[in-house]
């Protein structure tokens, strides 16, 4: 089961869960994913120890997709 | 580097040159020169005054104090990037969200980093430029191998986003960690350099707990340099 989560004031919340063979769940996840992108969030996927990747489309095969806010110099 | 691999936030600082190892060394040397430019004139003036007129001792002492305090203030500025963020309200430090955020952060890092975070509040992340210590509102890069230099970067979740104000500590670190992992050079480009200098100067200004993290980062940097 893949998960789309967003880091927020609650620690994090699950926005969607899906398996690639469930089209309805995939559609809901893609919708939630796009909605977060529209709100200015960035999507990250871990790609191994010490590596992460910024993604612009929901990777259906990823176990965990994390939505984060942009960073800036302080 | 493919556009997809570049940290999106670098677009907001498009005028900055992308940080690499050579630029890091150059900036480090520039910091050393700047410190010398602050210290030498004050120390020189103090010595000259004493030589010319010993009764000018009080003025010479003021000059020496300036020569000492300016580098110390810069080092303090560097150490401040590793301090925990000030909580805006009691709700921000609520145990539930804090624990959840630390749990997610723990899933992102290995056992050793998790244990170090529990002790110090900082995450150690080995990178290609060196070893990083990531805190809630900044990160320190140890770069240089045998003669390492600490580069203290002020960087945090964009405070212009309303949702950023309420983030628990683990999430703040996880934001920085994910950005760092996706594009290390881009991360260093977006961040503002607050201080660069010898790690011992930084160490004196850190709390006892966080010194352990600095020690671990120095060991990690020297290990990775030995491998290269």
pLDDT for B165: 86
Tell if the CB–CB gap between B104 and A70 is shorter than 8 Å.
no
Tokens for B118, please give them. 């529990």
φ, ψ dihedrals at B133, nearest 5°: -115, 120
Q: What percent of chain A has pLDDT over 70?
A: 100
Q: How does residue B120 score in pLDDT terms, banded at 50, 70 and 90?
A: very high
The ipTM is 0.95
List CB contacts (< 8 A) between A72 and chain B: 9, 12, 155-156, 158-160, 190
List CB contacts (< 8 A) between B4 and chain A: 53-54, 56
pLDDT for B190: 97
Average pLDDT over residues B210-223: 88
List CB contacts (< 8 A) between B176 and chain A: 71
Helix, strand, coil percentages, rounded to 5, for chain B:
65, 15, 25
Tell if the CB–CB gap between B156 and A71 is shorter than 8 Å.
yes
How remote is the C-alpha of A43 from its chain's centroid? 5
Task: Output the CA–CA distances (angstroms, integers) from residue B157 to A8, B174, B194, in the order listed.
Answer: 11, 10, 17
Whether the pLDDT of residue B162 is over 90: the answer is no
Whether the pLDDT of residue B220 is over 60: the answer is yes
Tally C-beta pairs within 8 A across A and B.
Answer: 115
Q: pLDDT of A17-49, one tens digit each?
A: 999 999 999 999 999 999 999 999 999 999 988
Q: pLDDT of B77-92, one tens digit each?
A: 999 999 887 665 545 5
Q: pLDDT of B124-150, one tens digit each?
A: 999 999 999 999 999 999 998 788 999
Q: pLDDT of B3-15, one tens digit each?
A: 558 999 999 999 9
Q: Which residues pair with B140 in a beta bridge?
A: B133, B152
List CB contacts (< 8 A) between A56 and chain B: 4
pLDDT for B225: 67
Q: pLDDT of B29-64, one tens digit each?
A: 999 999 999 999 999 999 999 999 999 999 999 999
Tell if the CB–CB gap between A66 and B159 is shorter than 8 Å.
no
Q: How does residue B221 score in pLDDT terms, banded at 50, 70 and 90?
A: confident
- The number of CA neighbours under 13 Å toward the Cβ of B180 is 33
Tell if the CB–CB gap between A74 and B164 is shorter than 8 Å.
no
Q: In a 3-state reduction of DSSP, which class is residue B148? A: coil
Q: What is the pTM of this model?
A: 0.91
Q: Where are the beta strands (DSSP E) in chain A?
A: 2-6, 13-18, 42-46, 52-55, 64-68, 71-73
Q: Where are the domains of chain B?
A: 20-228
Q: B152 near B196, Cβ under 8 Å? A: yes
Q: pLDDT of A3-16, one tens digit each?
A: 999 999 999 999 99
Q: pLDDT of B57-110, one tens digit each?
A: 999 999 999 999 999 999 999 999 998 876 655 455 567 899 999 999 999 998
Q: In a 3-state reduction of DSSP, which class is residue A65? A: strand
Q: B76 near B205, Cβ under 8 Å? A: yes
When CB atoms are compared, the residue of B81, B98, B171 closest to A7 is: B171
In whole numbers, what is the pLDDT of chain B averaged over residues? 91
CA dihedral B4, B186, B105, A71 (to 10 degrees): -100
């Amino acid at each position: 089961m893949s998960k789309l989560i967003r880091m927020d004031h609650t620690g994090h919340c699950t926005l969607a869960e899906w398996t690639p063979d469930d089209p309805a769940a995939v559609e809901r996840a893609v919708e939630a994913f796009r909605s977060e992108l529209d709100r200015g969030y960035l999507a990250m996927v871990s790609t191994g120890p010490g590596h992460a990747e910024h993604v612009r489309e929901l990777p259906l095969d990823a176990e965990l997709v994390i939505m984060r806010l942009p960073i800036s110099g302080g | 580097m493919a556009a997809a691999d570049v940290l999106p936030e670098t677009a907001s600082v498009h005028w900055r040159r992308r940080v690499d190892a050579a630029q890091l060394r150059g900036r480090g040397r520039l910091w050393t020169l700047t410190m010398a430019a602050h210290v030498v004139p004050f120390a020189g003036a103090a010595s000259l005054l004493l030589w010319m007129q010993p009764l000018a001792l009080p003025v010479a002492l003021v000059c020496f104090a300036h020569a000492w305090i300016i580098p110390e203030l810069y080092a303090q500025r560097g150490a401040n990037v590793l301090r925990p963020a000030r909580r805006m309200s009691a709700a921000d430090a609520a145990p539930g969200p804090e624990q959840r955020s630390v749990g997610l952060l723990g899933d992102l890092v290995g056992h050793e980093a998790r244990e170090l975070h529990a002790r110090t509040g900082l995450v150690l992340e080995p990178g290609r430029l060196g070893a990083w210590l990531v805190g809630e509102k900044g990160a320190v890069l140890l770069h240089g191998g045998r003669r390492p230099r600490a580069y203290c970067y002020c960087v945090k979740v964009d405070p212009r986003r309303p949702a950023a104000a309420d983030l628990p500590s683990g999430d703040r670190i996880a934001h920085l960690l994910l950005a760092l992992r996706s594009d290390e050079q881009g991360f260093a480009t977006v961040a503002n350099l607050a201080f660069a200098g010898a790690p011992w100067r930084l160490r004196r200004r850190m709390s006892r707990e966080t010194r352990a993290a600095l020690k671990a980062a120095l060991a990690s940097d020297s290990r990775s340099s030995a491998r290269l």
